Chains A and B, each alone.
Chain A
Amino acid sequence: MKTMTLNRSSTKAMNYKVKKVLGAVAIYCVLIIVCAIFLFPCLWLILSSFSATGSLYDTPGFFPESYSFDAFIKLFTDTANHNYPQWLANTLVIAIFNCIFSTLLIIGTAYVISYFQFKARKGLMKSALVLSMFPSFMGMTVIYILMTQFNIVNNIWGLVLIYSCTAPLGYLVQKGFFDTIPQSIYEAAKIDGATNARIFTTITLPLAKPIIVYTALTSFTWPWSDFILPKLLLIEKDNWTVAVGLMQLGQDEFARFAAGSVFIAVPIVVLYFFLVKYMVNGMTSGAVKG
Chain B
Amino acid sequence: MKSKKLISTLLLSTLVIGLASCGGGDDPDDGGDGSVFDKFDGNLEVGATIKVVENDTAIKMGYLDELLDAFNEAYAEYNITAVDANQGEFADLPNSGPYGYGPDVIYQANDVLMGWVQDRHVTPLPVEKIEAYQSGVIPSAAQAAYQAEVGGVNYTFGVPLNIQSPLLYYRKDLLPADWETTWDDDQNGVPDMVENLVDLYEFSKIYHEQDNTKYGFEFSLNDFYFSSGYLFSYGAYLFGDNNRDDTDIGLHAGDARYGVQVLRQFAAEMSAACIDDSAKLAISGSMASGKYFSSVTTPDVRSVIVSTLATTYQSEKGLTLEEATALAEENVIGVPFPDLPANGDLINPSDEMIECKQMGGINGYAMSSYTKYPNASLAFINFATSYEMAKLREEFLQIAPARSDVSAESTELSKQLFDRVSNGSIVLMPSIKAIDQVWTPAGSFMGDVAADSNRGANAKYDTLDKIQAALEQLSQDIYDAIHLLDR
Q: How far is the CA of A83 from the CA of B148 in the complex (A)?
A: 38
Q: Is B140 an interface residue (CB 8 A)?
A: no
Q: How far is the CA of A148 from the CA of B101 in the complex (A)?
A: 9
**Contact call A236/B304, Cβ cutoff below 8 A:** no
**Contact call B311/A237, Cβ cutoff below 8 A:** no
- Other-chain contact of B308, A53, A148, A251 (Cβ < 8 Å): A53
**Contact call A57/B21, Cβ cutoff below 8 A:** no
Q: How far is the CA of A153 from the CA of B24 in the complex (A)?
A: 14
Q: Is B5 an interface residue (CB 8 A)?
A: no
- Other-chain contact of B96, A56, A58, A235, A252 (Cβ < 8 Å): A235
Nearest B residue (CB) for A58: B285
Q: Is A202 an interface residue (CB 8 A)?
A: no
**Contact call B285/A53, Cβ cutoff below 8 A:** yes
- B162-199 vs A, Cβ < 8 Å mask (1 yes, 0 no): 00000000000000000000000000000000000000
Contacts A66-B315, A236-B85: A145 and B22 contacting too (C-beta < 8 A)? yes
Q: In whole Å, how far is B397's beta carbon from the nearest beta carbon of chain A?
A: 14
- A27-60 vs B, Cβ < 8 Å mask (1 yes, 0 no): 0000000000000000000000000111111100
Nearest A residue (CB) for B282: A57
Q: How far is the CA of A251 from the CA of B278 in the complex (A)?
A: 11
Q: How far is the CA of A146 from the CA of B18 in the complex (A)?
A: 8
**Contact call A58/B59, Cβ cutoff below 8 A:** no
Q: How far is the CA of A235 from the CA of B53 in the complex (A)?
A: 12
**Contact call A145/B21, Cβ cutoff below 8 A:** yes
**CB-defined contacts of A149 to chain B, threshold 8 Å:** 21, 24
**Contact call A236/B86, Cβ cutoff below 8 A:** yes
**Contact call B96/A80, Cβ cutoff below 8 A:** no
**Contact call A81/B278, Cβ cutoff below 8 A:** no
**Contact call B86/A237, Cβ cutoff below 8 A:** yes
Q: Is B469 an interface residue (CB 8 A)?
A: no
Count of residues in B whose CB is under 8 Å from the partner chain: 28
Q: How far is the CA of A43 from the CA of B270 in the complex (A)?
A: 33
- Other-chain contact of A235, B87, B278, B301 (Cβ < 8 Å): B87
- A140-156 vs B, Cβ < 8 Å mask (1 yes, 0 no): 00000110110001100
**CB-defined contacts of B100 to chain A, threshold 8 Å:** 148
Q: Is B281 an interface residue (CB 8 A)?
A: yes
Q: Is A248 an interface residue (CB 8 A)?
A: yes
Contacts across chains A and B counted by CB atoms under 8 Å: 60
**CB-defined contacts of B59 to chain A, threshold 8 Å:** 80-81
Q: How far is the CA of A53 from the CA of B308 in the complex (A)?
A: 6
- A55-87 vs B, Cβ < 8 Å mask (1 yes, 0 no): 111100000001000000000000011000000
**CB-defined contacts of A236 to chain B, threshold 8 Å:** 85-87
**CB-defined contacts of B304 to chain A, threshold 8 Å:** 252
Q: Is B295 an interface residue (CB 8 A)?
A: no
Q: How far is the CA of A276 from the CA of B13 in the complex (A)?
A: 46
**CB-defined contacts of B285 to chain A, threshold 8 Å:** 53, 55, 57-58
Nearest B residue (CB) for A248: B88
**CB-defined contacts of A148 to chain B, threshold 8 Å:** 24-25, 99-101
**Contact call B101/A154, Cβ cutoff below 8 A:** yes
**CB-defined contacts of A237 to chain B, threshold 8 Å:** 86-88
Q: How far is the CA of A224 from the CA of B429 in the complex (A)?
A: 41
**CB-defined contacts of B88 to chain A, threshold 8 Å:** 81, 237, 248
Q: In whole Å, how far is B209's beta carbon from the nearest beta carbon of chain A?
A: 21
Q: How far is the CA of A55 from the CA of B25 in the complex (A)?
A: 41
Q: How far is the CA of A154 from the CA of B86 in the complex (A)?
A: 11
Q: In whole Å, how far is B315's beta carbon from the nearest beta carbon of chain A?
A: 7
Interface range on chain A (Cβ under 8 Å from partner): 20 to 34
**CB-defined contacts of A154 to chain B, threshold 8 Å:** 101
Contacts A148-B24, A252-B281: A54 and B308 contacting too (C-beta < 8 A)? yes
**Contact call A58/B284, Cβ cutoff below 8 A:** yes
**Contact call A235/B60, Cβ cutoff below 8 A:** no
Q: In whole Å, how far is B69's beta carbon from the nearest beta carbon of chain A?
A: 15
Interface hub of B59, B282, B285, B304 (most chain A Cβ within 10 A): B285
Q: How far is the CA of A80 from the CA of B59 in the complex (A)?
A: 7
**CB-defined contacts of B96 to chain A, threshold 8 Å:** 235
**CB-defined contacts of A238 to chain B, threshold 8 Å:** 86
Q: In whole Å, how far is B432's beta carbon from the nearest beta carbon of chain A?
A: 28
**Contact call A53/B311, Cβ cutoff below 8 A:** yes
Q: How far is the CA of A84 from the CA of B484 in the complex (A)?
A: 44
Q: Is B56 an interface residue (CB 8 A)?
A: yes
- B283-322 vs A, Cβ < 8 Å mask (1 yes, 0 no): 0111010000000000001001000100100010000000
Q: Which residues of B449-478 are within 8 A (CB) of A? A: none
- Other-chain contact of B56, A54, A81, A251 (Cβ < 8 Å): A81
**CB-defined contacts of B288 to chain A, threshold 8 Å:** 53
Nearest B residue (CB) for A59: B285
Q: How far is the CA of A47 from the CA of B281 in the complex (A)?
A: 20
**Contact call B284/A55, Cβ cutoff below 8 A:** yes
- B95-115 vs A, Cβ < 8 Å mask (1 yes, 0 no): 010011100000000000000
**Contact call A251/B21, Cβ cutoff below 8 A:** no
Contacts A80-B60, A148-B99, A236-B86: A55 and B311 contacting too (C-beta < 8 A)? no
**CB-defined contacts of B25 to chain A, threshold 8 Å:** 148
Q: In whole Å, how far is B226's beta carbon from the nearest beta carbon of chain A?
A: 16
Q: How far is the CA of A248 from the CA of B59 in the complex (A)?
A: 15
Nearest 4 Cβ contacts at the A-B interface: A58-B285, A57-B282, A57-B281, A236-B86
Give 16 new A-B contacts, CB below 8 A, not counting A81-B60, A235-B96, A236-B85: A53-B284, A53-B288, A54-B308, A55-B285, A57-B278, A145-B24, A148-B24, A149-B24, A235-B87, A235-B92, A235-B101, A237-B87, A248-B88, A251-B281, A252-B284, A252-B301
Residues of B participating in the A interface, judged by any CB pair closer than 8 Å:
21-22, 24-25, 56, 59-60, 85-88, 92, 96, 99-101, 278, 281-282, 284-286, 288, 301, 304, 308, 311, 315
What are 28 A-B pairs at a CB distance below 8 A? A52-B311, A53-B311, A54-B308, A55-B284, A55-B308, A56-B281, A57-B278, A57-B282, A58-B282, A58-B284, A58-B285, A81-B56, A81-B88, A145-B21, A145-B22, A146-B21, A148-B24, A148-B100, A153-B99, A154-B101, A235-B92, A235-B96, A236-B86, A236-B87, A238-B86, A252-B281, A252-B284, A252-B304
